[in-house]
Structure 1
Amino acid sequence: MIEDITFLHSNWIPYISISAIVVWLVFVWKELPHFGKRKFWINITVALFAIVSLSIIALKPALPILGKNTKVIVLTNGYDTKQLDSLKKAHRRIQTFPYKANQPIFRNIQTSDTVFVLGEGVAPFDFWQLEDHKVHYITGDIPSGVVRFTYDHSRVVGEQLQLEGVYNNPTKGNLLILEGLGGNSLDSITLVSDTTTAFQVSTELKAMGNYVFSLIEKDSLGTIRSRDPIPVRVMDRTHLKILILNGFPTFETKYLKNYLAEMGHQVLVKSRITKGKYKFEYFNTDRIPIGTLSEENLAPFDLVILDASTAKNLGQPSRTALENAIREKGLGLFIQPEDDFFRSGKSITVFDFGREKSTETRLINSPKIRIGKYPFLFKDEFQLQAIHKNGTEHIVSAYKHLGKGKVSTTVLESTYELLLNGKTKEYQQLWSEIISAVGKKESAEVSWDKHSILGIKDQSYPFTLRTSIPEPEVTTDEDYRIALRNDIDISNLWTGTTYPKKLGWNRLSVAQDTIVVLEYFVTDTTTWKAKSGYDKIMKNKRFFDRVSKNNTKQISPLVPINPIGFYIFFLLCIGYLWLAPKLGEE
């Protein structure tokens, strides 16, 4: 009870405390002639009680109270009626409130000691209304449909668009179809009856531009049950200047150089035939003499590919020049592995590997195709960035940052066998992702961090901007300026939020540099309903789990304590101090 007492004028405590001490010290000074006598100690104690009583009256003590109906139910979309009926039976006087986004949740009562939230939950922007309450979040069934999906929304001409996802509670026999422009069916998968089903659909991207593919679900009669947009930005292929150095000709390099040349890259291959003799090959480029590596002859290149033996046997001047080009110029380096590479620690950037028995693997994006590999796997570490993972989520190709550039390698072996087995697209996809991940990137004055380009109309769409411009101004298509917040630690990092009003493709641009823009696609709440419901459930679970741990005490209405008792006690104390001298007490 006592621990629940609070003061309505708690901000006055410092001033009243100082004043009370001063008044009491004055009274003690007044009683000093009687020091040492019993009267002195009685009088200063009674005076202290009187001053404390008066101070408490001024601070207005109050106690929290709860109304008669202190438990309520908040009904959100997708709630289970059986759960509602059970709560009403357990709590006869419980009240129910249908939830409406961005509206007050509690209309007729000020508070409650317990709140039951049923269904998918409240919108994140309404969490603040429940922060100070004891909340029991009771979820219903996870929505039926695509609850999770992932794909790379920014691709290059010739690469594959691969959409991977999880469908919850599918209907057996229904079809998921990846639909392109003009209603063309590009890929499909038949759903099976199960609790959850992982799926993957893909297609080749043949032309640059902004496209909106669709994921369609059809039942066994061909009726469309849902249609959800998949926006993709397809960019033109960037042609790199690539230097390949081999200690001896290999089949891996033979097929790789041909693929790179077909993709339009400028390729120079230098292979040692015998001691002191080299073979030079040029594709899409003029003849350039390459001797010992130096910063000068590395300057034109965006990517260097070395086999492991060449990387190991580089002389100190060549190694230093290569490291400087990577660190300072952003050069990319890919090391073609061999058996000794995984046991040697003499690489420019040391990768940490763990041994395993398997010499074959399947990539996540090509689960039906076996690829040869060395009996090693990358050990996941903080600086390691994965390019490819296998079906068990182990990293099989990766890179590390080294200054402005990157150093990369893989545990895959003899990838050219994919071509020999007729898996041309898989081979091209594999190497396209490695080359694009490691190759030198042009440094732009403005860059937008990668994130989802799918926004919802009238809902928040956050974005992140990196720029060397001191005070960037971001504007929308309608020339509305968006407020930005600068990161306190990273001076070139800015974040902002917009609320798109227009369906379809939208654009954000920086007023000081309108060349590099952020294009994103805006849809409405009728699409990806299962995913949005699942995401809301997960956000509510995380939020209310945290709130329930932090809220050990509930906030309730405060009612002032009747001060009449303090007044009576104060008058008794003052009366005693006034009457005692007159009665002649000693």
Structure 2
Amino acid sequence: MIEDVTFLHSNWIAYIAIGAIVLWLVFVWKEWSHFGKTKFWINITVALFAIMSIAVIALKPAVPILGKNTKVAVLTNGYDTKQLDSLKKVHKRIQTFPYKANQPIFKNIHTSDTVFVLGEGVAPFDFWQLEDHKVHYINSDSPSGVVRFQYDHSRVVGEQLQFEGLYNNPTKGNRLILEGPGGNGLDSISLESGKKQSFQLATHLKSVGTYTFSLVETDSLGKLLSKDPIPIKVLDRKGLKILIVNGFPTFETKYLKNYLAEMGHEVLVKSRITRGKYKFEYFNTDRIPIGAFSEKSLQPFDLVILDATTAKNVGQRSRTALENAIREKGLGLFIQPDDDFFRFRKDEVAFDFDREKSTETSLIDSPKNTIGKYPFIFKDQFQLQAIHKNNTENIVSAYKHLGKGKVSTTVLESTYELLLNGKTTDYQQLWSEIISSIGKKESAEVSWDEHSILGIKDQSYSFTLRTAIPEPEVITEEGYRIAMRSDIDISNLWTGITYPKKLGWNRLSIAQDTAAVLDYFVTDTTTWKSKSRYDNILRNRRQFDRQTEKVTKQISPAAPINPIGFYIFFLLCIGYLWLAPKLGKE
């Protein structure tokens, strides 16, 4: 019990101790004339007890309100009553506290022992209230509904919106529908019975702008069960200037150049017919002469596509000019492989491959469509950036950075067969992702990090931007200025936080450059409920699993001990010191 005693005025201990010692030494000096006699030792001892009792009164001793064996249960949304009943059977005196976000969890009472958190867990901004407690998190079952999803928030007009997700505890017969901004159904899928079901919905994007698609769930009778927003920004297509050089005409290039031209790119094709003779084709561009690679001849182009033979046999001067254009100007290079390409020496190609037997594969994005491939896959190495992976998670197309530019290739073979088999959309999607990944990018003065454009009303929305502007001033549509924080190591990297008040599309802009804007979508807590609950469960697991690994100092409020006993003891000591000289002999 004594180890539970604390002092409310513990910050006064040093001063009171010094004063008590000085006072006791004065009393010893006063009694020094009786040194060596019995009453000397009795008097200074009684004086010490008197001084100690008054010092304790001044420090205000206290004991914890709750005992060491106290358990507390914090009840959050979705908690299981059976779990609570089980806890009450084990811990008879357990106290329960209903949780409300952004309010004191225990109010005026805290626990000095163990806290059990039941249900979906506390909000992340309330984790601090449990930092000094031993916490056991007992989560509820994972919620039913869409608990995971992913899609590209920004796409180019003409490309596909591909929405992929994971549905937990689906109900057989229910349907998921991808609705357009006008409420028209664009794609749908039926749910099957089981614990989890992955799904994919897709549609083509036909016009530029900011749009709000929706994921709708209906039952087997068509009754609306839920409707959640899918915001997306559709950007205008930026035409690239592309140079294709082949050692001989191929079907792959024949269909690729037609696709690139249809997409509005400026394409120049140079194909060798015989030794020293070339055929030139121009699409969406003026006729310009192109000979050996040089700094001047490569200057207009954003992307160069070479077949493996041309890439291997290019002259040293042309190779140097090509590498300089990639490193210094940001030019993109794509190498069309052949059988000999995978036997190149390592100093001639920037990629390493592993051999495998399979000569067909299917991509994660389109698992039902098989594509021919060479019997190789990429070695997943440092700096290798995947563009496409197959259904076994192996990389089948990728790029590496080379200075400001990128060098890319693939193990896929004869992708034009997708067109011949009527898979036009899959062919276009495949090459659209390759071209957009490696083409030369314009260096924007302001670049926003768009890892998520979905925000919650009245909750924090954080964003990041890179800019050469020394002190960017970010403002909201309402004209409020957002305080920005610069990264300590990267001077052009800035982060900020805002709390949006308006539902729907919101915009942030920079005062120094009003054209540099970030559009993001704000919804409320009534949407994507299953995902929000699931994410909160995972956050609580991570938080409290880490917390239980370390020893925590338990804190409990204390109640002052009634000082009447110390006063009585003090009076008895002082009374003895006053009465003893009168009864004894001087």
Task: Please indicate, yes or no, whether the TM-score normalized by the shorter chain is above 0.5.
Answer: yes
Maintained 8 Å contact 1:397/1:411: yes
Query: In structure 1, how many angstroms separate the alpha carbons of the residues matched to 2:411 and 2:62?
Result: 68
AA partner of residue 456 (structure 2): I
Change (3 A) 1:60 1:404: farther
Q: CA deviation at 1:181?
A: 2.8
Query: In structure 2, how many angstroms separate the alpha carbons of the residues matched to 1:393 and 1:150?
Result: 17
What percent of counterpart residues are identical? 77
Query: In structure 1, how many angstroms separate the alpha carbons of the residues matched to 2:12 and 2:319?
Result: 71
Residue aligning to 2:158: 158
Residue aligning to 2:87: 87
Query: Are 2:200 and 1:200 aligned?
Result: yes
Alignment of 1:17-416 (within 5 A): 65=64, 67-68=66-67, 70-346=70-346, 350-416=350-416
Q: What's the CA shift string for 1:502-521, capped at 9, x where partnerless?
A: 00000011111111211011
Residue aligning to 2:495: 495
Query: In structure 2, how many angstroms separate the alpha carbons of the residues matched to 1:509 and 1:14?
Result: 57
Query: In structure 2, how many angstroms separate the alpha carbons of the residues matched to 1:516 and 1:339?
Result: 46
Residue aligning to 2:32: none
Q: Could you tell me which runs of 5 or more consecutive residues in structure 2 were left unpaired when the two chains were aligned.
A: 23-47, 574-586
Instruction: Give secondary structure in 1 for the equivalent of 2:243.
Output: strand
Query: In structure 2, how many angstroms separate the alpha carbons of the residues matched to 1:267 and 1:358?
Result: 34
Equivalent residues, number: 544
AA partner of residue 523 (structure 1): T
Q: CA deviation at 1:261?
A: 0.7
Instruction: Give secondary structure in 2 for the equivalent of 1:412.
Output: coil
Q: What's the CA shift string for 1:32-88, capped at 9, x where partnerless?
A: xxxxxxxxxxxxxxxxxx9xx99xx89979898461472111111111111011111
Alignment of 1:452-491 (within 5 A): 452-491=452-491
Query: In structure 2, how many angstroms separate the alpha carbons of the residues matched to 1:392 and 1:155?
Result: 26
Query: In structure 1, how many angstroms separate the alpha carbons of the residues matched to 2:246 and 2:325?
Result: 19
Change (3 A) 1:325 1:2: farther
Q: CA deviation at 1:275?
A: 2.0
Residue aligning to 1:39: none
Instruction: Give secondary structure in 1 for the equivalent of 2:126.
Output: helix
Change (3 A) 1:472 1:2: farther
Residue aligning to 2:580: none
CA RMSD of aligned residues (A): 3.2
Maintained 8 Å contact 1:360/1:371: yes
Q: What's the CA shift string for 1:483-503, capped at 9, x where partnerless?
A: 111111111100111111000
Stretch deviating more after TM superposition (251-260 or 318-327) = 318-327
Maintained 8 Å contact 2:124/2:539: yes
Query: In structure 1, how many angstroms separate the alpha carbons of the residues matched to 2:112 and 2:105?
Result: 12
Query: In structure 1, how many angstroms separate the alpha carbons of the residues matched to 2:103 and 2:339?
Result: 65
Q: Could you tell me which runs of 5 or more consecutive residues in structure 1 were left unpaired when the two chains were aligned.
A: 24-49, 572-586
Query: In structure 2, how many angstroms separate the alpha carbons of the residues matched to 1:338 and 1:451?
Result: 37
Query: In structure 1, how many angstroms separate the alpha carbons of the residues matched to 2:182 and 2:196?
Result: 31
Maintained 8 Å contact 2:387/2:434: yes
Change (3 A) 1:2 1:98: closer
Query: Are 2:442 and 1:442 aligned?
Result: yes
Maintained 8 Å contact 1:155/1:233: yes
Maintained 8 Å contact 2:386/2:399: yes
Stretch deviating more after TM superposition (229-238 or 86-95) = 86-95
Query: In structure 2, how many angstroms separate the alpha carbons of the residues matched to 1:340 and 1:66?
Result: 80
Query: In structure 2, how many angstroms separate the alpha carbons of the residues matched to 1:526 and 1:366?
Result: 32
Maintained 8 Å contact 1:323/1:348: no
Maintained 8 Å contact 1:62/1:558: no
Residue aligning to 1:581: none
Maintained 8 Å contact 2:4/2:64: no
Stretch deviating more after TM superposition (448-457 or 270-279) = 270-279
Query: In structure 2, how many angstroms separate the alpha carbons of the residues matched to 1:465 and 1:314?
Result: 40
Instruction: Give secondary structure in 2 for the equivalent of 1:369.
Output: coil
Query: In structure 2, how many angstroms separate the alpha carbons of the residues matched to 1:270 and 1:186?
Result: 41
AA partner of residue 304 (structure 1): V
Instruction: Give secondary structure in 1 for the equivalent of 2:100.
Output: coil
Change (3 A) 1:215 1:348: farther
Instruction: Give secondary structure in 1 for the equivalent of 2:536.
Output: helix
Instruction: Give secondary structure in 2 for the equivalent of 1:539.
Output: helix
Q: What's the CA shift string for 1:158-209, capped at 9, x where partnerless?
A: 1010000000000001000001132211000000001000000000111111
Query: In structure 1, how many angstroms separate the alpha carbons of the residues matched to 2:514 and 2:280?
Result: 43
Change (3 A) 1:60 1:440: farther
Maintained 8 Å contact 1:72/1:112: no
Instruction: Give secondary structure in 2 for the equivalent of 1:264.
Output: coil
Query: In structure 2, how many angstroms separate the alpha carbons of the residues matched to 1:132 and 1:221?
Result: 52
Maintained 8 Å contact 2:13/2:59: no
AA partner of residue 460 (structure 2): S
Q: CA deviation at 1:558?
A: 6.3
Change (3 A) 1:64 1:284: farther
Instruction: Give secondary structure in 1 for the equivalent of 2:362.
Output: strand
AA partner of residue 161 (structure 1): L
TM-score by length of 2: 0.86
AA partner of residue 187 (structure 1): D
Residue aligning to 1:425: 425
TM-score by length of 1: 0.86
Q: CA deviation at 1:345?
A: 3.6
Query: In structure 2, how many angstroms separate the alpha carbons of the residues matched to 1:311 and 1:227?
Result: 52
Query: In structure 2, how many angstroms separate the alpha carbons of the residues matched to 1:116 and 1:180?
Result: 44
Query: In structure 1, how many angstroms separate the alpha carbons of the residues matched to 2:407 and 2:427?
Result: 21
Query: In structure 2, how many angstroms separate the alpha carbons of the residues matched to 1:63 and 1:384?
Result: 63
Change (3 A) 1:336 1:108: same
Stretch deviating more after TM superposition (89-98 or 469-478) = 89-98
Query: In structure 2, how many angstroms separate the alpha carbons of the residues matched to 1:155 and 1:267?
Result: 22
Q: CA deviation at 1:310?
A: 1.5
Query: In structure 1, how many angstroms separate the alpha carbons of the residues matched to 2:339 and 2:9?
Result: 77
Query: In structure 2, how many angstroms separate the alpha carbons of the residues matched to 1:421 and 1:211?
Result: 32
Query: In structure 1, how many angstroms separate the alpha carbons of the residues matched to 2:506 and 2:4?
Result: 53
Change (3 A) 1:72 1:413: same
Maintained 8 Å contact 1:175/1:190: yes
AA partner of residue 389 (structure 2): K
Query: In structure 1, how many angstroms separate the alpha carbons of the residues matched to 2:183 and 2:166?
Result: 23
Change (3 A) 1:297 1:11: farther
Change (3 A) 1:61 1:271: farther
Maintained 8 Å contact 2:65/2:559: no
Instruction: Give secondary structure in 2 for the equivalent of 1:465.
Output: strand
Maintained 8 Å contact 1:293/1:321: yes
AA partner of residue 147 (structure 2): V
Query: In structure 1, how many angstroms separate the alpha carbons of the residues matched to 2:62 and 2:421?
Result: 80
Residue aligning to 2:37: none
Residue aligning to 1:584: none
Stretch deviating more after TM superposition (8-17 or 430-439) = 8-17
